[in-house]
Amino acid sequence: MSKTSASLSNYHITNSHTEIVDAMIRSTRANQTILWQTVNGQRTVYPVTGLSLDASRKMLTFTFSPSTSVISAAAPIYVKLAFRETVFKVSPTQTLAGQVVVTMPEEIHWRDLRVNKRLSFRRGERHVITRPYFAHLRSDQLPSLKVSLRDISERGVGVYISHQNVDFFKVGKFIELTALGEAGLPRPLLGHVMWVKRTETKSERDEGLEWLVGVKMLDMIPAPELNTLSAN
């Protein structure tokens, strides 16, 4: 594997609006963002002194030293954020001395700093089967819930759920993971609900995906099952 390929293999790609907004918000708190642009074969790097986010309009504003050269509106710019070395390419919407405004990207690349690799999926692309866990009830007395998968690793699962199932996924409750996609697991795996939040976009809610849930797996998901889920 070449040095470039090895470097790129450490980057995770996401088109999740929630994750993209989160990366922008986290990066506004640190002064480590840079952007660069190549015009007529000459690359210029601009250290960013300020980053502001207008989430409702999906716009980003970068500020830098007014003494630097004005960014060209005719060429794309590349941005590297503070959070997880997130990188993306955009076209300038408005350029002024010491400032450039861009539309929020639809896809970003960031360095995966987790020990356990996390797989991400588009809405509706994969699903898992879960059921609430109650020690005093048999498994056949509990409902099985097919939920849309957002991301998964050996130690955690992110799922979309409908409003009618939100009572089963309240913070602090336990769930069992019984299948990944169409493939059952050798045994149910226990997980602990860590957070629940409302999804941000109307399209998600229109599709019955009103809530996003984060589950910490107390029983690790076996790597072979994860690899099978990713390959199918």
Q: Is pLDDT of 201 > 70?
A: no
**Full DSSP string of 88-137:** EEE-EEEEETTEEEEEPPS-EEEE---SS--EE--TTT-EEEEEE--TTS
The model carries a pTM of: 0.53
Q: Is pLDDT of 30 > 70?
A: no
Average pLDDT over residues 82-94: 88
CA neighbours closer than 13 Å in the CB half-sphere of residue 50: 10
Give the highest mean pLDDT range of 7-16, 32-41, 129-138, 184-193.
184-193
Residue 68's pLDDT is 63
Q: Is pLDDT of 17 > 90?
A: no
Element containing residue 209 per DSSP (H, E): none
Q: Is pLDDT of 43 > 60?
A: yes
Residue 64's pLDDT is 83
Q: Is pLDDT of 109 > 50?
A: yes
Both tokens assigned to 131: 């059921």
Q: Is pLDDT of 16 > 70?
A: yes
Q: Is pLDDT of 1 > 50?
A: no
Quote the CA–CA distance of 140 and 188 in Å, as a whole number: 13
Q: Is pLDDT of 6 > 50?
A: no
* pLDDT-above-90 percentage for the chain: 30
